[in-house]
Protein backbone atom coordinates (compact mmCIF):
# COMPACT_ATOMS: atom_id res chain seq x y z
CA UNK A 1 0.00 0.00 0.00
CA UNK A 2 1.66 3.22 -1.17
CA UNK A 3 -1.08 5.58 -0.02
CA UNK A 4 -0.98 7.20 3.40
CA UNK A 5 -4.15 6.47 5.36
CA UNK A 6 -6.02 8.77 7.72
CA UNK A 7 -7.89 6.34 9.95
CA UNK A 8 -10.58 7.17 12.52
CA UNK A 9 -11.20 4.08 14.60
CA UNK A 10 -14.71 3.07 15.64
CA UNK A 11 -15.76 4.43 19.03
CA UNK A 12 -17.60 1.20 19.87
CA UNK A 13 -17.21 -2.39 18.65
CA UNK A 14 -16.03 -2.12 15.06
CA UNK A 15 -18.52 -3.84 12.75
CA UNK A 16 -18.47 -1.66 9.62
CA UNK A 17 -16.13 0.59 7.62
CA UNK A 18 -16.42 3.59 5.33
CA UNK A 19 -13.60 4.19 2.83
CA UNK A 20 -13.77 7.72 1.41
CA UNK A 21 -11.47 9.28 -1.19
CA UNK A 22 -10.72 13.00 -1.46
CA UNK A 23 -10.75 15.15 -4.57
CA UNK A 24 -7.84 16.39 -6.67
CA UNK A 25 -5.20 18.26 -4.65
CA UNK A 26 -6.72 17.44 -1.27
CA UNK A 27 -5.65 14.94 1.41
CA UNK A 28 -7.35 12.34 3.56
CA UNK A 29 -7.53 14.91 6.34
CA UNK A 30 -9.76 17.11 4.19
CA UNK A 31 -12.82 14.89 4.61
CA UNK A 32 -12.07 12.87 7.74
CA UNK A 33 -13.32 15.44 10.27
CA UNK A 34 -16.59 16.12 8.41
CA UNK A 35 -17.34 12.42 8.03
CA UNK A 36 -16.26 11.46 11.55
CA UNK A 37 -18.92 13.82 12.89
CA UNK A 38 -21.76 12.01 11.10
CA UNK A 39 -20.75 8.36 11.61
CA UNK A 40 -22.24 6.00 14.18
CA UNK A 41 -19.85 4.65 16.86
CA UNK A 42 -19.50 1.17 15.31
CA UNK A 43 -18.18 2.54 12.00
CA UNK A 44 -14.48 2.92 11.24
CA UNK A 45 -13.42 5.58 8.72
CA UNK A 46 -10.49 5.28 6.32
CA UNK A 47 -9.54 8.32 4.23
CA UNK A 48 -6.49 7.60 2.06
CA UNK A 49 -4.28 10.36 0.67
CA UNK A 50 -3.30 10.04 -2.99
CA UNK A 51 0.36 10.18 -3.98
CA UNK A 52 1.73 13.39 -5.49
CA UNK A 53 1.94 13.29 -9.27
CA UNK A 54 1.99 15.74 -12.19
CA UNK A 55 -1.54 16.60 -13.32
CA UNK A 56 -1.89 17.56 -16.97
CA UNK A 57 -5.00 19.72 -16.58
CA UNK A 58 -3.10 21.82 -14.01
CA UNK A 59 -0.12 22.41 -16.30
CA UNK A 60 1.84 19.46 -14.92
CA UNK A 61 1.89 20.73 -11.34
CA UNK A 62 2.46 17.98 -8.79
CA UNK A 63 -0.33 17.38 -6.30
CA UNK A 64 -2.24 14.53 -4.63
CA UNK A 65 -4.09 12.79 -7.44
CA UNK A 66 -5.50 9.30 -7.92
CA UNK A 67 -4.78 9.41 -11.67
CA UNK A 68 -3.92 11.99 -14.32
CA UNK A 69 -6.62 14.25 -15.76
CA UNK A 70 -6.08 15.63 -19.25
CA UNK A 71 -9.26 17.64 -19.63
CA UNK A 72 -12.89 18.08 -18.67
CA UNK A 73 -14.59 17.66 -22.02
CA UNK A 74 -16.36 14.73 -23.63
CA UNK A 75 -13.51 14.13 -26.04
CA UNK A 76 -10.65 14.54 -23.54
CA UNK A 77 -8.05 11.78 -23.32
CA UNK A 78 -8.29 9.60 -20.20
CA UNK A 79 -5.51 8.10 -18.09
CA UNK A 80 -6.54 4.48 -18.59
CA UNK A 81 -3.40 2.97 -17.03
CA UNK A 82 -3.61 5.37 -14.08
CA UNK A 83 -7.25 4.56 -13.35
CA UNK A 84 -6.56 0.82 -13.57
CA UNK A 85 -3.56 1.14 -11.26
CA UNK A 86 -5.44 3.20 -8.67
CA UNK A 87 -8.47 0.88 -8.79
CA UNK A 88 -6.21 -2.09 -8.12
CA UNK A 89 -4.70 -0.37 -5.09
CA UNK A 90 -8.12 0.66 -3.78
CA UNK A 91 -9.35 -2.90 -4.13
CA UNK A 92 -6.28 -4.09 -2.17
CA UNK A 93 -7.17 -1.64 0.61
CA UNK A 94 -10.68 -3.08 0.78
CA UNK A 95 -9.31 -6.63 0.74
CA UNK A 96 -7.07 -5.75 3.70
CA UNK A 97 -10.11 -4.54 5.61
CA UNK A 98 -11.88 -7.83 4.83
CA UNK A 99 -8.83 -9.76 6.08
CA UNK A 100 -9.07 -7.81 9.34
CA UNK A 101 -12.54 -9.26 9.90
CA UNK A 102 -14.99 -6.82 8.30
CA UNK A 103 -17.05 -8.43 5.50
CA UNK A 104 -17.05 -6.44 2.26
CA UNK A 105 -20.84 -6.30 2.58
CA UNK A 106 -20.24 -4.10 5.65
CA UNK A 107 -18.08 -1.62 3.74
CA UNK A 108 -19.24 1.53 1.97
CA UNK A 109 -16.90 2.99 -0.64
CA UNK A 110 -17.14 6.60 -1.72
CA UNK A 111 -15.45 9.84 -2.57
CA UNK A 112 -15.64 13.43 -3.72
CA UNK A 113 -14.92 14.55 -7.29
CA UNK A 114 -11.93 12.53 -8.60
CA UNK A 115 -12.17 10.31 -5.50
CA UNK A 116 -15.80 9.56 -6.26
CA UNK A 117 -14.89 8.80 -9.86
CA UNK A 118 -12.33 6.21 -8.75
CA UNK A 119 -14.79 4.77 -6.24
CA UNK A 120 -17.46 4.24 -8.89
CA UNK A 121 -15.06 2.59 -11.32
CA UNK A 122 -13.49 0.36 -8.65
CA UNK A 123 -16.83 -0.77 -7.25
CA UNK A 124 -18.09 -1.83 -10.67
CA UNK A 125 -14.91 -3.64 -11.71
CA UNK A 126 -14.26 -5.75 -8.62
CA UNK A 127 -15.82 -8.98 -7.38
CA UNK A 128 -16.20 -8.09 -3.69
CA UNK A 129 -19.81 -7.12 -2.88
CA UNK A 130 -20.03 -3.78 -1.08
CA UNK A 131 -22.78 -2.40 1.13
CA UNK A 132 -23.03 0.79 -0.90
CA UNK A 133 -21.25 3.43 -2.97
CA UNK A 134 -21.15 7.22 -2.56
CA UNK A 135 -20.16 9.63 -5.35
CA UNK A 136 -20.22 13.37 -4.63
CA UNK A 137 -19.65 15.87 -7.46
CA UNK A 138 -18.20 13.04 -9.54
CA UNK A 139 -18.25 11.25 -12.87
CA UNK A 140 -17.67 7.73 -14.15
CA UNK A 141 -14.22 7.40 -15.77
CA UNK A 142 -13.47 4.96 -18.58
CA UNK A 143 -17.20 4.53 -19.12
CA UNK A 144 -16.57 3.19 -22.63
CA UNK A 145 -15.08 0.05 -21.00
CA UNK A 146 -18.40 -0.54 -19.29
CA UNK A 147 -20.64 -2.44 -18.97
CA UNK A 148 -18.29 -5.03 -20.47
CA UNK A 149 -15.77 -4.64 -17.64
CA UNK A 150 -18.37 -4.79 -14.86
CA UNK A 151 -17.68 -7.63 -12.41
CA UNK A 152 -19.95 -6.75 -9.50
CA UNK A 153 -21.81 -4.16 -7.42
CA UNK A 154 -24.03 -3.14 -10.33
CA UNK A 155 -27.09 -3.52 -8.10
CA UNK A 156 -25.80 -2.25 -4.74
CA UNK A 157 -27.23 1.00 -3.34
CA UNK A 158 -25.51 4.01 -4.90
CA UNK A 159 -25.99 7.61 -3.85
CA UNK A 160 -24.74 10.14 -6.38
CA UNK A 161 -24.91 13.83 -5.47
CA UNK A 162 -24.12 16.88 -7.62
CA UNK A 163 -24.62 20.63 -7.44
CA UNK A 164 -26.28 22.17 -10.48
CA UNK A 165 -23.86 25.13 -10.34
CA UNK A 166 -20.72 22.96 -10.47
CA UNK A 167 -18.37 24.26 -13.16
CA UNK A 168 -15.33 22.15 -12.14
CA UNK A 169 -16.93 18.77 -12.75
CA UNK A 170 -19.79 19.99 -14.95
CA UNK A 171 -23.29 19.13 -13.79
CA UNK A 172 -23.84 17.58 -17.23
CA UNK A 173 -21.16 14.99 -16.40
CA UNK A 174 -23.06 14.11 -13.28
CA UNK A 175 -26.28 13.79 -15.25
CA UNK A 176 -24.69 11.55 -17.90
CA UNK A 177 -23.14 9.38 -15.19
CA UNK A 178 -26.52 9.11 -13.47
CA UNK A 179 -28.19 8.06 -16.72
CA UNK A 180 -25.56 5.38 -17.32
CA UNK A 181 -25.68 4.01 -13.77
CA UNK A 182 -29.46 4.06 -13.39
CA UNK A 183 -29.82 2.07 -16.61
CA UNK A 184 -28.03 -0.88 -14.98
CA UNK A 185 -28.77 -0.29 -11.30
CA UNK A 186 -32.32 0.03 -9.94
CA UNK A 187 -30.80 1.01 -6.57
CA UNK A 188 -29.03 4.10 -7.92
CA UNK A 189 -30.21 7.48 -6.60
CA UNK A 190 -29.20 10.88 -8.03
CA UNK A 191 -29.60 13.96 -5.83
CA UNK A 192 -29.30 17.46 -7.26
CA UNK A 193 -28.52 20.50 -5.10
CA UNK A 194 -29.70 23.84 -6.45
CA UNK A 195 -26.98 26.50 -6.51
CA UNK A 196 -24.28 24.22 -5.11
CA UNK A 197 -20.90 24.61 -6.75
CA UNK A 198 -17.96 22.17 -6.55
CA UNK A 199 -18.27 21.60 -2.82
CA UNK A 200 -20.45 19.96 -0.22
CA UNK A 201 -23.27 21.36 1.90
CA UNK A 202 -25.01 20.54 5.20
CA UNK A 203 -27.98 19.18 3.24
CA UNK A 204 -25.75 16.86 1.24
CA UNK A 205 -23.88 15.67 4.34
CA UNK A 206 -27.20 14.86 5.98
CA UNK A 207 -28.11 12.77 2.93
CA UNK A 208 -24.74 10.99 3.21
CA UNK A 209 -25.27 10.40 6.93
CA UNK A 210 -28.69 8.86 6.33
CA UNK A 211 -27.33 6.66 3.52
CA UNK A 212 -24.52 5.30 5.72
CA UNK A 213 -26.85 4.76 8.67
CA UNK A 214 -29.33 2.87 6.50
CA UNK A 215 -26.80 0.57 4.85
CA UNK A 216 -24.41 0.05 7.78
CA UNK A 217 -26.85 -0.41 10.67
CA UNK A 218 -25.39 -1.09 14.09
CA UNK A 219 -27.59 -4.13 14.75
CA UNK A 220 -26.11 -6.12 11.83
CA UNK A 221 -24.23 -9.25 12.92
Give the per-residue SS3 of the chain: CCCEEEEECCCCCCCEEEEEECCCCCCCHHHHHHHHCCCCCCEEEEEEECCEEEEHHHCCEEEECCCCECCCCCCCCECHHHHHHHHHHHHHHHHHHHHCCCCHHHEEEEEECHHHHHHHHHHHCCCCCCCEEEEECCCCCCHHHCCCCCCCCCCCCEEEEEECCCCCCCHHHHHHHHHHHHHHCCCEEEEEECCCCCCCCHHHHHHHHHHHHHHCCCCCC
Active site residues: 113, 166, 198
Amino acid sequence: MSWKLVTVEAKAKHTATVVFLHGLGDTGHGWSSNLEAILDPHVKLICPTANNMPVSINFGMRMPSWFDIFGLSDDAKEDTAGVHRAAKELQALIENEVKSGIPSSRIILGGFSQGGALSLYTALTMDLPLSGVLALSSWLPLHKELPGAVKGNQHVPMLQCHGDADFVVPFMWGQKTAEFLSAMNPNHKFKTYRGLQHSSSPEELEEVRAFIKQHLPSDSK
